[in-house]
Amino acid sequence: MRILAIALGACSAFFVFYEVRLLMVTGFLQHVRSGGQGAYIGAVVFPLIAVALALASRAVWRRA
């Protein structure tokens, strides 16, 4: 169970990293090319996924 918790935590950290990367590449969403609506979706979805994975990791860690 602890290995699963660590894996979920690592996935959460990846999505936090990717959110920061997305914001840096797009200049905090000021320089999004036309048709680049995926950046806006990613700016909303990546933090949600990161939080969900962090909460799941915490729950699994406590359960173990």
Half-sphere exposure for 24 (CA within 13 Å, toward CB): 6
Each residue of 24-50: pLDDT tens digit?
999 999 999 888 899 999 999 999 999
Q: What is the pLDDT of residue 28?
A: 94
Round to whole Å and give the CA distance between 44 and 54.
Answer: 16
The count of domains in the chain is 1
Mean pLDDT over each residue of the chain, to the nearest integer:
96
Where in the sequence is the domain holding 19, given as residue range(s)?
Answer: 2-63
C-alpha dist (Å) from residue 23 to 13, 33, 45, 63: 16, 13, 13, 35
Whether the predicted model's global pTM rises above the 0.85 cut: yes
